[in-house]
Structure 1
Amino acid sequence: MDKGTEPPRPAKNEKRRFRGKVAPRVSIEDQVVKVAVPEGSCFRGHEPFLVQDLVISVCATRYQRERWVTPDGRTLLAPLPAGIDGHFGPELRRFVLMHYHQGQSTLARLTTLLRSVGVSISKRQLQRLLTDKQADFVAEAQDVLRAGLATAPYVSVDDTGARHKAKNGFCTQIGNDWFTWFATRTSKTRLNFLDLLRAGHSDYVLNDAAYGYMRKHSLATPLIARLAGQPETRFANHKAWLAHLDRLGFTALEVTPDPVRVATEAAVWGSVQAHKFLCDAVVLSDDAGQFNVGHHALCWVHAERLVHKLDAFTDMHRAAQTRVRSLIWDFYTSLKAYRLKPSPRRAVGLRARFDRIFLRRTGFVTLDRLLKRLHANKAELLMVLQRPEIPLHTNGSENDIRC
């Protein structure tokens, strides 16, 4: 739908038949090639002929580290240069990581390649380069997530099934046009998603955001008052939080919704807000329930797909389905134009037009029920009218998580 609603590109008068000159991204070394000529010939300059080549070489450095013994008996050993960690240098590590993860090369083939150019390395050593001492990568990924959640105007999220440690799990993606981040867990619940949004923090916080979450998710007012009446508002870890709920009698209650679950989700959301994550950012999702937190927006492509996949059994049903899809596509085109030039007047008109589309009665009962359900998501589908900077779809997450 997104590509189908793009304006047609102007036709070019002339089509270029050739790909043009090669433009290398590295410095060019000039080398003059001479030729034997007869006496009396006239020199007419040079004719350039560009050749690109690749040189892969191996170097080995033996660092002679000074050792000294101080007068008090201590041994001092000269430190290795910055970037040296182990018996393989940073460029070799970068080469291994790129070919294994980005090039999807197997360990056996990568070992053969490195040995063919002169590197003395075993398959086990190569495996250790990929799996051992990766704390810096983990810390860097966590810093990227924290920076993104603290500064981004929106994040797009998605998840998919993934294998991890020989077990089925779920890989969750969080990102936007500037960053993307992945985590694989055994659960895809809302509590799991909220825990990911804490970006490595483990505390539980009771604040205005937490109490607002409890009221939104129908936690009983006396229970909220019981939590608010206690002096403790911050808990270091899950064990301390559960002990607090047990003292207040939450764990003994057997009601719906589960007080322990709602209160825990609220405290985690309070922690997210306390660390200044997603304070005013929009969470854009495909309508999966676990992602409905904070300022939430929905993907229009997934909404239209529900209409597209609806089974129609008669000509009247197919005609109604086609008509509604056409109206949605036209409305989507208008939303794309609004993002480029937003105005309060156009926003009012688009809201009224949304009602006319999704409150219509087509005579196709299943389609009418679907339109009514989509109309209930009006605020989330039209979040772009308040925040024109957010996309209308989660295609970015779909592309990031596809690999």
Structure 2
Amino acid sequence: MTSRHGRSSKPLSSTALRQLVSDLAGKIDRLEQEVERLHLDNSNLRLDNQALKDEIARLKNLPPRPPFKPSGMEKATQPRPASPGRRPGRGAKRDQVTREVVLRVEAPPGSRFKGYKTVMHRELVLTAEVVRYKRERWVTPEGETLIAPMPIGVSGGFGPSVRRFCLALHIKGQVTTERLTDLLNGIGLAISKRQVVRLLTTDLETFAQEDHAVLEAGLVSSPYITVDDTGARHARRPGVTTQIGGERFTVFRTGKSKSRLNFLSLLRAGHEDYVVNEATLEYLRRQPVEATVVARLTKLQGQVFSSQMDWLEHLARCSINTCRTMVQSSARLGWA
């Protein structure tokens, strides 16, 4: 029997098969070498073409081609070299098991149990959950109504996980509120853009307290402080963003001024207390301040005022009104 191409359909012997495989392997090697050579020639032609373009641009007095450095994304996508003694594909940490499922099999009678074969399976679960809280209500013998409190973190009809998800994507991922709204509704969580904005902008006292604590701890513990400022427009008005950092912390403050007084107020880390110390008096002696005023303030040395209002009221009681601004700026040098 022969095929329509005139070749015999008789099976080949093992020797003929080995010879055919050897011939095919040789052809594949030659094709790979040819592809590598063509790729090298193509790269050389690109380099020559670019060199000609640069020479033409130089002869025409055109600006040189700007150097393009590889982006950080390319470096991040490159695989990390495996450290010796570690199996490839495994990290230093092991995944924390959140759920364990036992899969059973129907074994015939007389079989022996040999334990389990463990397989790790990773999954991402994004699903909307609607919880109905039934809050108990009681009426005391005195007629007072008691209602069971809501769980901590539940505000505005949404749980803490929803807010954490919105904050992570909006701040770290720079996802807009419109896309956040579409994403949550696509998952199955009915929410409006106004509610997303409310989750991002309300009840931020905890974050503000943490921010103040970071600045205060950084100013106390850092061996050095770095400062920089840049312009920042908000609501069509010019402003200034000041960066204060150290070896292990960085904070940002935005205001309307970049003056010395504003910077000193930022270094106070939210404290409003005032104190007249030796640095304050030394500064006043170098300024055009009357000796009587300096003498009055010398009597206050070491005294602490809890706020700016208390300090200004004490100045008014001492009849120190003409140089209030200068005294106010100098007193800021010596906060408690």
Same fold, judged at TM 0.5 (above): yes
Q: Provide closer, same or farther for how the CA distance between residues 261 and 66 of structure 1 changes in structure 2, counting only shifts above 3 A.
A: same
Residues 261-283 of structure 1: per-residue CA shift (max 9 Å, x gap) = 44222212222xx1xxxxxxxxx
Q: Confirm whether residue 157 of structure 1 aligns to residue 221 of structure 2.
A: no
Are 2:277 and 2:302, in contact at CA under 8 Å, matched by a contact in 1? no
Q: Confirm whether residue 121 of structure 1 aligns to residue 191 of structure 2.
A: yes
Q: Provide closer, same or farther for how the CA distance between residues 64 and 241 of structure 1 changes in structure 2, counting only shifts above 3 A.
A: same
Q: Distance in 1 between matches of 2:311 and 2:189?
A: 53
Deviates most, 24-33 or 114-123: 24-33
Q: Confirm whether residue 180 of structure 1 aligns to residue 250 of structure 2.
A: yes
Report sequence identity in percent.
44
Match of 1:140 among 210, 216, 232: 210
Which amino acid is the alignment partner of residue 270 of structure 1?
G
SS at match of 2:225: strand
Q: Distance in 2 between matches of 1:98 and 1:17?
A: 26
SS at match of 1:159: strand
Give the structure-2-normalised TM-score.
0.60
Give the structure-1-normalised TM-score.
0.51
Q: Provide closer, same or farther for how the CA distance between residues 210 and 165 of structure 1 changes in structure 2, counting only shifts above 3 A.
A: farther
Q: Distance in 2 between matches of 1:93 and 1:31?
A: 30
Residue 94 (structure 1) shift: 0.9
Alignment-derived partner of residue 27 in structure 1: 96
Residue 231 (structure 1) shift: 8.0
Q: Confirm whether residue 196 of structure 1 aligns to residue 266 of structure 2.
A: yes
Are 1:219 and 1:262, in contact at CA under 8 Å, matched by a contact in 2? no
Q: Provide closer, same or farther for how the CA distance between residues 17 and 155 of structure 1 changes in structure 2, counting only shifts above 3 A.
A: closer
SS at match of 1:172: strand
Q: Provide closer, same or farther for how the CA distance between residues 69 and 49 of structure 1 changes in structure 2, counting only shifts above 3 A.
A: closer
Which amino acid is the alignment partner of residue 195 of structure 2?
Q
Count of residues paired in the alignment = 239
Which amino acid is the alignment partner of residue 218 of structure 2?
G
Alignment-derived partner of residue 313 in structure 1: none
Where do 5+ consecutive residues of structure 1 fail to align?
Answer: 1-15, 34-45, 253-258, 275-403
Residue 76 (structure 1) shift: 0.6
Q: Confirm whether residue 110 of structure 1 aligns to residue 180 of structure 2.
A: yes
Alignment-derived partner of residue 111 in structure 2: none
Residues 344-385 of structure 1: per-residue CA shift (max 9 Å, x gap) = xxxxxxxxxxxxxxxxxxxxxxxxxxxxxxxxxxxxxxxxxx
Aligned CA RMSD, in angstroms, stands at: 3.5
Which amino acid is the alignment partner of residue 221 of structure 2?
T
Alignment-derived partner of residue 334 in structure 2: 270
Q: Distance in 1 between matches of 2:157 and 2:334?
A: 46
Q: Confirm whether residue 73 of structure 1 aligns to residue 137 of structure 2.
A: no
Q: Confirm whether residue 91 of structure 1 aligns to residue 161 of structure 2.
A: yes
Q: Provide closer, same or farther for how the CA distance between residues 79 and 214 of structure 1 changes in structure 2, counting only shifts above 3 A.
A: same
Q: Which has the higher contact order (CA 8 A, sep 6+)?
A: 1
Alignment-derived partner of residue 332 in structure 1: none
SS at match of 2:150: coil
Q: Which has the larger radius of gyration?
A: 2
